[in-house]
Structure 1
């Protein structure tokens, strides 16, 4: 219950901060978002381009554990995973508040789960992220970015969202490792403490999820 309350309060605090305490919204924000989404990047700073696109990779990272975790939840994971592509932690925090601990996987993996569970998916995401980070760092102007972070609500909240997504991943990591029979506390903390690339490395090296048929569980002998 403490965990649920903590995530709920964090979500409420994020909403209040984003709409009432963050820097004011600047003219042209909707046009900026449209151009970023359509790949019309002329005149947009590389760091903003890189951050915006990385915010599209984060939901894919979370989907790699969220849809599997959701198999054992009363609430459907897709209700939160899909909106997270648009609003990030604003959509994922309610799921973290409502979910129950789930360290088992029962049933068969469908096509989506097989894709999300594949190490190839993790590797592809790493390559894409490395390209984006290199692009942003090579042509980025940190002084200009900091100024925009201080004055532009969109840039400010997007940066905050990135930080929150980095901090929240361990909330799902432990159960995902347990579902795979992987007990390694040192590796858990290594992944948890490396922002962005820690979760990406995890998706690329974790053991495949073993399918367990419901019928096999129901046929297990009951201990007297």
Structure 2
């Protein structure tokens, strides 16, 4: 219950801060988002470009854990994971608050889960992120700091990025348990390296074994007896 309350309060606090305490929107925010989306990057700080596209990679990272986790939950994970592509942690925090611990995976992997479970996907995301980070480091940090102070879009997106880095361990423990991968040192290494820690995990984690529902039920009955 403490965990649920904590995630719920964090979600409400983030909403209140984003809409009432963050810097106001600039008149050119919609134009900036449109240009970022269609690749018209002339005049846009590379740091902003890199951050914008990395915020599209984070939902894939979380989906690679949450969609497996959602198989054993009373609530579906995919609506929250899908919404996170648009609003990031605003969508994921309610799922983290409502979910229950789930160290097992039930049933078979569909095509989407097989893709997300593949190490190739993790490696591809890591390469794409490394390219974005290298490009972003060419940007103007003073200009980014000024935009962070004056643009709600840049300000909240930056905080969203930081929050997604901090929330990853909430799903990591059960994902490692589902894969029978007990390695506390690796857990902390993944947790303490922002962004690239989760990406490395997706690139090296063992494939998730599939279990038939009837087999899983018989195992649970054996444990109960």
Aligned match of 1:176: 175
Query: 1:184-203 to 2 correspondence within 5 Å?
Result: 184-203=183-202
Aligned match of 1:113: 113
Query: 1:20-31 to 2 correspondence within 5 Å?
Result: 20-31=20-31
Question: 1:219 Cα deviation (Å)?
Answer: 4.1
Question: 1:28 Cα deviation (Å)?
Answer: 1.1
Question: Which SS does the other structure have where 1:71 is aligned?
Answer: helix
Aligned match of 1:49: 49
Structure 2 distance, partners of 1:198, 1:218, is: 34
Aligned match of 1:94: 94
1:151 aligns to 2:172 (yes or no): no
Question: 1:78 Cα deviation (Å)?
Answer: 1.0
Question: Which SS does the other structure have where 2:173 is aligned?
Answer: helix
Aligned match of 1:34: 34
Unaligned runs of 5+ in 2: none
For residues 128-169 of structure 1, the C-alpha deviation after alignment (integer angstroms, 9 at most, x for no partner) is 00000000102x110110011011110000000000000000
Aligned match of 1:135: 135
Q: Which runs of 4 or more aligned residues in structure 1 lie more than 3 Å from their structure 2 counterparts after TM superposition?
A: 218-224
1:165 aligns to 2:164 (yes or no): yes
Structure 1 distance, partners of 2:26, 2:127, is: 33
The normalised TM-score by structure 2 is 0.97
Structure 2 distance, partners of 1:218, 1:171, is: 26
Question: Which SS does the other structure have where 1:37 is aligned?
Answer: helix
Question: Which SS does the other structure have where 2:157 is aligned?
Answer: helix
For residues 56-111 of structure 1, the C-alpha deviation after alignment (integer angstroms, 9 at most, x for no partner) is 00001001101000011111111101110010000000000000000001111111
Aligned match of 2:123: 123
Structure 1 distance, partners of 2:10, 2:162, is: 13
Unaligned runs of 5+ in 1: none
Structure 1 distance, partners of 2:9, 2:216, is: 38
Question: 1:222 Cα deviation (Å)?
Answer: 3.5
Pairs aligned (count): 223
Question: 1:217 Cα deviation (Å)?
Answer: 2.7
Question: 1:218 Cα deviation (Å)?
Answer: 3.5
Question: Which SS does the other structure have where 1:210 is aligned?
Answer: coil
The root-mean-square deviation of aligned C-alpha atoms, in Å, is 1.0
Question: 1:40 Cα deviation (Å)?
Answer: 1.2
